[in-house]
């Protein structure tokens, strides 16, 4: 894959003038059981050296590491400004996790749910239990309406009422056996523990690109198409950083998060650091009409 995107050309006069190039109630111990051993952190497997220089960032008042440019004069006297997305940050894989407890609903076909959601008393008992379980923090109730809004915002084709209400919590030491134990309790349809996503706390949004099999009717994104998507992102006001995650790293991240050994249908992914949450609303319109994009969503 190319590591440099040529996006502009300036005359020699501009270069020699000194102007810099800028780029733009059950006992808790019965439910929790034994906790699995913590995995040793590993370094991110795929990363490359940053091609964006700090000096170019500083010349436009940006933070080091922001989308930036490097320039040089070619044999034809033209200064080419080359801009690249940032590589995957060098960081250990997260060892924490998250818990999602989906409540019964009218749409749930399980016999135990009897075609209705939990009573208020059942929800209170579930919440109290989760807050008492060792290793859980940040227990939060997510209504069906909020889940529906999030899905629609992320471009997921969901019908209203199709996503049930849930409780979510942070898990200090992920224990995959906790989900099935909680799922046996009244009012709970299913529950699952996930490992923390590699990009949690590192980026605010992601743009998933077409890989070999994840976009219907076509193959992986081409270099030209990737260039166009990156150019649209890097010039979008409020986008501070653009990282490019390789397909290999994305697959490894998915396997770790989901405890799966299969290979998902994914491609490369651009991960974005935004100046504020409202910038997300501009991303999808900025990419409209550009081929090679599968999905735009927030990191939640």
- The CATH code of domain 205-298 reads 3.30.70.3040
Three-state DSSP at 205 gives strand
| pLDDT, averaged across the chain | 80
- CA–CA separation, 3 vs 7, rounded Å? 13
Do the domains spanning 97-195 and 205-298 agree at the CATH topology level? yes
Q: Please give the share of the chain, as a percent, with pLDDT higher than 90.
A: 62
**48-65, pLDDT tens digit by residue?**
434 433 333 433 445 655
Q: Contact, 284 vs 296, CB < 8 A? A: yes
Compute CA 211 distance to the chain's CA centroid, rounded to the nearest angstrom.
17
* The overall pTM is greater than 0.85: no
Three-state DSSP at 274 gives strand
Maximum CA pair distance of the chain?
A: 77
Query: In the CATH hierarchy, which fold is given to the domain comprising 97-195?
Result: Alpha-Beta Plaits (3.30.70)
**200-256, pLDDT tens digit by residue?**
999 999 999 999 999 999 999 999 999 999 999 999 999 999 999 999 999 999 999
- CA–CA separation, 277 vs 266, rounded Å? 25
Structure tokens belonging to residue 133: 């379980």
Q: What is the pLDDT of residue 114?
A: 85
Burial of 262 (0-12, 13-18, 19+ CB in 10 A): exposed
Within 13 Å and on the Cβ side, how many CA atoms surround 87?
A: 16
Q: Indicate the domain borders of the chain.
A: 5-83, 97-195, 205-298
Structure tokens belonging to residue 226: 């990737």
């Amino acid at each position: 894959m190319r590591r440099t995107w040529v996006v502009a050309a300036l005359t020699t006069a501009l270069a020699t003038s000194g102007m810099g190039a800028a780029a733009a109630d059950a006992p808790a111990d019965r439910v929790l059981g034994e906790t699995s051993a913590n995995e040793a952190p590993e370094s991110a497997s795929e990363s490359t050296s940053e091609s964006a220089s700090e000096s170019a960032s500083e010349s436009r008042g940006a933070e080091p590491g922001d989308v930036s440019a490097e320039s040089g004069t070619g044999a034809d006297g033209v200064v080419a400004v080359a801009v690249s997305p940032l590589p995957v940050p060098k960081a250990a894989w997260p060892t924490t996790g998250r818990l999602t407890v989906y409540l019964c609903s009218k749409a749930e076909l399980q016999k135990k749910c009897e075609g209705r959601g939990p009573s208020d008393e059942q929800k209170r008992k579930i919440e109290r239990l989760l807050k008492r379980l060792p290793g859980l923090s940040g227990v939060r109730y997510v209504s069906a309406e909020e889940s529906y809004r999030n899905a629609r915002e992320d471009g997921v084709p969901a019908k209203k009422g199709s996503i049930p209400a849930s409780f979510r919590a942070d898990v200090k030491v992920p224990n995959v056996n906790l989900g099935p134990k909680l799922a046996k309790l009244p009012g709970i349809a299913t529950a699952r523990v996930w490992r923390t996503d590699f990009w949690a706390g590192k980026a605010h949004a992601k743009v998933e690109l077409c890989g070999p099999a994840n976009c219907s009717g076509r193959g992986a994104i081409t270099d030209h198409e990737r260039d166009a998507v990156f150019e649209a992102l890097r010039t979008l006001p409020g986008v501070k950083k653009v990282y490019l995650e390789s397909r290999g790293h994305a697959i490894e991240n998915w396997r770790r998060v989901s405890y799966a050994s299969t290979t998902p249908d994914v491609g490369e992914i651009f991960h974005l650091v935004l100046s504020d949450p409202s910038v997300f609303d501009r991303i999808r319109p900025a990419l409209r009409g550009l081929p090679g994009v599968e999905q735009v969503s927030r990191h939640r």
